[in-house]
Amino acid sequence: MLLCDIGNTTYHFFDEHQSYKEDAELFMPSSVKEEVFYICVNKQVRELLKPLKNWIDLSEYVDRKNYYDTMGIDRIMACEAIEEGVVVDAGSAITVDIVKAGKFEGGFIYPGVRAMGECYKNISAALAYSFNFELDLDKMPKNSRDAISYGYIKLLQSEVKSYKMEIYLTGGDAFEFAKLFPASHIDEMLLFKGMKNIMKKANIC
C-alpha cells in the first residue's frame, strides 16, 4: 500500500519504510499497479487519475462539515494528524491552523518565504535581501535586512505563540521556522499521518 501527496510539481510517496518524490510532469501514474491512497491539489493530475481504479482519492472520505468548502486538502490532512495544537505548514504559502480536542477551529494563510521576498524585491531592488531567521526579535532593527525580516517574521511569530499551544511544523521551510519556535515539533510526515488517520476512520486500512 502506498500513500501519495500530490502537489503542483511532485508526487510525494510514502510506503511505511521510506518517502520519495517523482516529478509531476514526467511520472506516469499508470505505471503503479498496487493500491495508492492519495490527496491532490493539482486539478490536472486529479483528472488524469480518475480512470485509474487503484488510485483512491482520500479527499472523498473527509467529513467536510468539520472544515470550510474551499480549504485545501493538504491543510485538512495536516489538521487530521494531531489532536490539539497549532499546525504551521511552511511551503510556498504558510498556513497556520488551530486544532482543539480534535476539532479544526480555523486558520490563516501567510505568504511563503520566497513569495514575500519577491514582494520586497518588486518594491525596490534595494530591498532584495534574504530573511534573517536568527534575528533578535526583542530588539528593533538597525539595518535594512533585519528591518524587512522583522516586518515579516515578528507578526507571524507573535500570532502563532499567542495561542499558547503545542506547535507542529511541516513543509519545505520548517527548519528555518524552527528557529522562531525552538520548542516546536518538526514533522515532515505530518500529512501522511493525517492520511492514515482518515483511513482508520473510514475503515479502509
pLDDT digits (tens, 9 = 90+) for 80-112: 999 999 999 999 899 999 999 999 999 999 999
pTM beyond 0.85: the answer is yes
The CB density around residue 99, as the number of other CB atoms within 10 Å, is: 23
Ranges under pLDDT 70 in the chain: 205
CB contact burial 141-167 (16+ within 10 A = b; e otherwise): beeeebbbbbebbeebbeebeeeebeb
Delimit the CATH 3.30.420.40 region(s) of the chain: 2-63, 82-186
Q: Which of 74, 89, 97, 173 is catalytic?
A: 74
What is the topology classification, in CATH, of domain 2-63? Answer: Nucleotidyltransferase; domain 5 (3.30.420)
The pLDDT, as a whole number, for residue 205 is: 67
The pLDDT, as a whole number, for residue 101 is: 96
CATH number for 82-186 (one of 3.60.20.10, 3.30.70.560, 2.60.40.1220, 3.30.420.40): it is 3.30.420.40
The pLDDT, as a whole number, for residue 44 is: 87
Query: 182 near 166, Cβ under 8 Å?
Result: no
Alpha helices in the chain (DSSP H): 43-49, 73-80, 113-123, 144-162, 174-177, 190-201
**74 noted as active-site residue:** yes
Rounded to the nearest 10°, the torsion over CA 156, 161, 165, 170 is 40
Nearest to 195 by CA among 4, 12, 15: 4
43-46 long-range contacts (CB < 8 A, ≥24 apart) are: 45/6, 46/6
Could you give the CA distance from residue 78 to residue 74 in angstroms, rounded to a whole number? 6
Cross-strand partners of 98: 86, 106
Q: Which three cell numbers stand for residue 127?
A: 530591498
